[in-house]
Amino acid sequence: MKPILTVFIFFFLGLTNSLISQAAVERKISMSLGPQNAYYIEIPGANKKLAQKTFEEFVKEYGKIKENGKAKEYFMMGTKIPVINGTSPVDLYAKFDEGKDMATAYVFVDLGGAFVNSVDNPSQSASLKQFLFDYFITVRKKVVAEELKNEEKNLGGLEKDLKRLKDKNEDHHNDIAKAKQKILENEKNIETNVVDQENKTKEIDTQKVVVEKVVEKLNNLGKKD
């Protein structure tokens, strides 16, 4: 399978798996103005920092989001978000939480005296759910892209390991070739050595004869005929 196709499939499956049954949930949540109707969505693989930063980028076109440090909350006042409430301004609040291997984003939208809820504001409720789903997709793309980056890094490490193994295999083959050559050389050296031993044995035998003659010569010194 071609690398580019593999990367695309990995990215697509990672993103698709997280979309199954994924939708914003409506619930009363405590915030700076007390318990209010909110919509929250869980984002697998994300942390609180990523969820918060991505949300700031996601709503940037509607104005600058501010932070209420005491309430650990973010807000935009009197902003127009057409996808939620057309040309009418809203007050938007957001909170972020972090759980095990996921982040949760909570969004509250005040239409001006009442927070969006599915009973009184079915149209805005549906739009807000879609708004959160689009935001969810944006975060998940970042999560899966980072996952892909890590897996590509792991792949690169494995490929380096394979190269080292192949290089080692080549070294072993070279060692074997050198060893075989050394064996051939030693076999020739053995043949030469056998011949040298035979020649040396002949020299020794000849020298023994010489030594015997000298010994005999020494023994005969002083003797009378």
CB-side exposure of 131: number of CA atoms within 13 Å? 26
Q: What are the tokens at 221?
A: 């010194």
pLDDT of residue 20: 42
pLDDT tens figures, 38-62: 999 999 999 999 999 999 999 999 9
Answer whether 106's CB lies under 8 Å from 135's CB.
no
pLDDT of residue 11: 47
Helix axes 122-220, 3-19, angle to 10 degrees: 140
Q: Does the structure show a pLDDT above 70 at 108?
A: yes
Across the chain, mean pLDDT equals: 91
Q: What percentage of the chain has pLDDT greater than the value 70?
A: 90
Q: What confidence tier does 224 reach under pLDDT thresholds 50, 70, 90?
A: confident
Q: What percentage of the chain has pLDDT greater than the value 90?
A: 85
Place of tokens 């759910």: 129
Choice among 11-15, 129-133, 211-215 with the minimum mean pLDDT: 11-15
pLDDT tens figures, 140-197: 999 999 999 999 999 999 999 999 999 999 999 999 999 999 999 999 999 999 999 9
3-150 maps to CATH 3.30.310:
yes
pLDDT of residue 2: 52
Which residues, in sequence order, are bridge partners of residue 103? 43, 98
Answer whether 78's CB lies under 8 Å from 87's CB.
no
pLDDT of residue 3: 52
Beta-sheet pairing, 25-31 with 34-44: antiparallel
The model's pTM is: 0.71
Beta-sheet pairing, 25-31 with 73-80: unpaired
Query: Domain ranges in the chain?
Result: 3-150
Q: What are the tokens at 81?
A: 């978000």
